[in-house]
Amino acid sequence: MYEMKATLNSEAAVPQERFLRIETGMHTAAIRRIAIDADNLYLATASEDKTVRVWELSTGRLLKTLRPPIGDGYEGMIFSVAISPDGKTIACGGCTGYQWDGSFSIYLFDRESGDLIKRIRCLPGAIYHLTYSKELLAFLPHNDKRRWVLWTPSGYYDASLGGDDLIGWHVNNGTDKVAYFDPISSFRIYDRPDVISRVLQTLEVKEATKIEFSHVRILSPFDNTEVKSTELTVKYLLNASPERAVEKIEVRVNGRPFLTVPSDDLWNNDEIKITIPQEDCVVSVIVHDKYGSKVYDRVKLQWKGEASVIKPKLYIFAVGINKYNSKSFKNLNFAVKNANDFYRNHQAAEGPHV
């Protein structure tokens, strides 16, 4: 991953010598990119002649020529350009900054004055495309190739098992106290795979959260309840949105499916009997709707009963062969009998004491 920094008036060794240039009121080399502002007032063109020109879109009149720092050869050639949504800032890049930084830069110009106001540097390659856009989703895959998390700027997320511990909220606690960090897994209200799915469909976070979704809450047992029996009754409260018909409720223990309640039985009961292992575990109740979205609640249980004793199992597959079709092998007389005797001897010992 490369480092990105924004600097103003960098002190890098930009060439100070003069470059004699032709000025014809138009570009003198290939135009590589164009950009238009949101109100269709301005057109910006990026060219290999090492300038960006701003035009009045309605008349084609040249309004401003933007001139980034240039050098010999390719240094200063502009391959990309973008106009901010408000039309006030123009970003451009290309073979920009490598001659004196050893890396590439994006230049930000004030459209009206033509001043270079910022430089984003330390980019690893030439910039061939730029666009202004709002962030919809961020994605973090872990190096273990198992955990990942995908989230919106407001905190709604979808994650693999354990992936919801990779991000969280940093909360300041004043200037003289230690700040604290809460993993996002502590806030189940933000665990919304359905919102993430809808963001990908609509490309709008606000649109994705407008629809009223179904909700489920586990009433008992409470989170971090101590249990001694493997038989457990889970009571839940379901608030179903009329716009999104619930198709089923799924119960999982430690992430593994245990039981599915179809839609026909949802309203006949508000509790489910399950069996849990003799260990600490997580029980989840998941609601699936007709759009494929799902919401859930979960509780962590602390096992305080007898420790689980795992007894090994012995499986016997005994084979004896008396006759062979190959002339290189002699037929045997007792192979089948020996295999049967071996099996029967162990069968007689079968039982819990084995």
pLDDT for 214-258, tens place per residue?
677 888 999 889 999 999 999 988 776 655 567 788 888 988 888
Helix ranges, the chain (H):
98-101, 193-202, 205-208, 335-348
**Annotated domain spans of the chain:** 5-123, 138-207, 213-303, 311-354
134 burial via Cβ count (<10 Å: 0-12, 13-18, 19+): exposed
Q: Which helix (H) or strand (E) holds 123?
A: strand 116-123
Tell me the residue type at 84: S
Does the pLDDT value for residue 9 go beyond 50? no
- Residues of the chain by 3-state class (helix, strand, coil), percent to 5: 10, 35, 50
Cβ partners under 8 Å of residue 1, min gap 6? none
CB burial class (10 A; 0-12, 13-18, 19+) of residue 192? buried
Instruction: Express each pLDDT in 286-301 by its tens digit.
Output: 887 766 656 678 888 9
Q: Record the pTM.
A: 0.45
Residue 47: which H helix or E strand, with range? strand 42-47
* Tokens encoding 15: 């060439």
Domain 5-123, CATH: 2.130.10.10
pLDDT over 90 at 176, yes or no:
no
- In this predicted structure, the answer to whether residue 354 has a pLDDT above a threshold of 60 is no
Average pLDDT over residues 93-97: 95
Helices (H) and strands (E) in the chain, counts: 4, 22
| Per-position b or e across 210-220, b if 16+ CB within 10 A of its CB | eeebbebebee
213-303 architecture in CATH?
A: Sandwich (2.60)
Radius of gyration for the chain, computed over Cα atoms and rounded to the nearest angstrom: 34
> Vertex 74, ends 71 and 79: CA angle to 5°?
115
